[in-house]
Amino acid sequence: MECSRQIHLIGYPMDLGAGRKGVDLGPAALRIAGIQNKLEILGYSVTDLGDICIYPRQDLTIFDPRLKYVEEIARAAQILADQVETSLSRGYFPLCLGGDHGVAIGSIAGVSAFCKKNGRTPGVIWIDAHADMNTEYTTPSGNIHGMALAIALGFGDQRLTHLNGYAPKITPGNSALVGIRKLDTLEKETLKRWRLPVYTMTDIDRKGVDFIIRKILKSLRTHVDHIHVSFDVDSVDPQVAPGVGTPVPGGLTYREIHLLMETIAECGCMSSMDVAEVNPILDMGNTSAELASDIVASSMGMRIL
């Protein structure tokens, strides 16, 4: 399934999955950075569907410190899943603007539901400094944005894993993680146990980002016919993108992330996308949102020449 020329922007101003406030302002920052205009310049027809309504943390109670705000996160994720599925059913490309990386819980659920009803197989490219493979039994913080990929794979609390009534949404063999450089101890064991395709920054240093993303795309295209890209801006080095939810030194360079996205665009096989964890409170003059919007544009076909 190739990228549609019609895009739905879906704002998901969620910070309940994170330990630090500010990422709820990410969708607004991306809009201010001109993400819609940058895509329209590339020839896309873009419709902004606005933001999903999410209750603020001051109106909520934490009932389980291992799963902070799980009820509201599950409610909002189901709304996002329904909206993503509807967009795909209407022939649109859903571009979900986070918020914390918990956005992927709902977006991948929506992609999976669409694929399930249309005889397609979904795959996910997870671009992130973190694997987000914790569950309520392994999490050191209780922050659900650190569980998002595990939830999509069917691991964790059923209120999150069983959106739309089933799990998993994707399988380990139909996913790939890129840019990983910060893992919790028990996450490492989970990744090894389930043999997830993980490409760390060490792998990128040794083999190069072009080799790795081409390998991922070649592999996925033999298994899947809908590729969802979930892009956490903290995959980029904080010297380039300081305004992110959980910055980790040693990330992708400016040119590496653009090359990675340009290669995905050349493939013509991406059908939906998240951009997550822009935090304007930690940013300098909205530079990280500007960068993120340019990176998304690269994934949709923007070129130097």
Active site residues: 101, 128, 130, 132, 145, 232, 234, 277
Angle between helices 287-299 and 254-267 (to 10 degrees): 30
> Of 171, 261, 260, nearest to 224 (Cα)?
171
Which ranges constitute the DSSP H helices of 208-304?
209-221, 254-267, 287-299
Q: Are 57 and 16 in contact (CB under 8 A)?
A: yes
Position 16: which residue type? L
Identify the helix (H) or strand (E) that includes residue 71.
Answer: helix 70-89
- Of 183, 187, 217, whose CA–CA distance to 200 is shortest? 183
**Closest C-alpha to 242, from 284, 201, 276, 203:** 284
Q: What are phi and psi of 226, to 5 degrees?
A: -145, 115
* Torsion angle in degrees (nearest 10) through CA of 122, 270, 109, 118: -50
- Helix and strand numbers, DSSP H then E, in the chain: 11, 8
Is 92 strand, coil or helix? coil
Place of tokens 């295209």: 221
